[in-house]
Structure 1
Amino acid sequence: MSCSIDLLKHRYLKNIKENPELFVGIELEYPVASLEGDATDVEVIKDLFHYLVSTLDLTVAKVDDFGNLIQLVDPISQDAILFEVSYTTIEFAFGKAETIQEVENRFNNYMNV
């Protein structure tokens, strides 16, 4: 019995570090809606991404088949701002952080733009 347990431990636990570094991983998704209750204007969303690139130190990581920006990345923090499925949901996928307050500060920097 102990041989089988040892084999299972080796198979499934061998890649786990003894003293791993711990990081916070956070993704936030927000629906994009018109304040007037109308359908979401996709052009406003596309313009937002161009504005973010021109205002913040973000690089374009992905574009769609039509050349529209769909993922922006901060080269230092590795934070990504993206559209995962459609232009009606914007996602903030934050890079590694040691504390939730660090992520909060970075998020606030994006919101202050």
Structure 2
Amino acid sequence: MEFELPIVNEKNEPVNFEVIYQVTDRFIDTFSFLNVSRDDNEHIYLAVDDKTGDGLSYDCSYNTLEFSFGKEEDMNVLYKRFCQYYTYIQKELRK
């Protein structure tokens, strides 16, 4: 299961990628995603939780965030993890 979410600056300005990089770093630390890939500028564009198979990535640019989820028999478990990730990202971006 995957969810692609656009990142939009509510002030009607371009997205500040420095903010995205910082929020991504904090997300990785908070949720202990270990398998990390970086772009040519050393910014994380993909991170995976080795235990769950869940991933955070940016699809084509840092304007679209993608959450992907590992295999799970109970959709409620995936829903709870999605809510955790989404709530965290929203809270951090609103700062």
Flag whether TM exceeds 0.5 (same fold): yes
- Equivalent residue number for residue 31 of structure 1: 6
1:80–1:92: 8 Å Cα contact kept in structure 2?
Answer: yes
In 2, the alpha carbon distance for the partners of 1:60 and 1:44 equals 21
* Selected match of 2:69 from 82, 94, 97: 94
Match of 2:42 among 36, 61, 67: 67
1:61 deviates by 2.2
SS in 1 for 2:8: coil
* TM-score normalised by length of structure 1: 0.72
Q: Which of 13, 24, 31 is equivalent to 1:49?
A: 24
Q: Which consecutive aligned stretches of 4+ in structure 1 deviate over 2 angstroms post-superposition?
A: none
What's the % identity of the aligned pairs?
A: 27
- Cα pair 2:15 2:63 within 8 Å, conserved: yes
Q: Report if the CA contact (8 A) 1:60-1:69 is conserved.
A: no
Q: How far apart, CA to CA, are the structure 2 residues paired with 1:47 and 1:77?
A: 23
The TM-score normalised by the length of structure 2 is 0.85
Q: d(CA) in 1 for partners of 2:50 and 2:84?
A: 15
1:58 matched to 2:43? The reply is no
Q: How far does the alpha carbon of each residue in 1:82-107 deviate from its partner, in whole angstroms, 9 at most, with x for none?
A: 01210000000111011221210111
Structure whose CA Rg is larger:
1
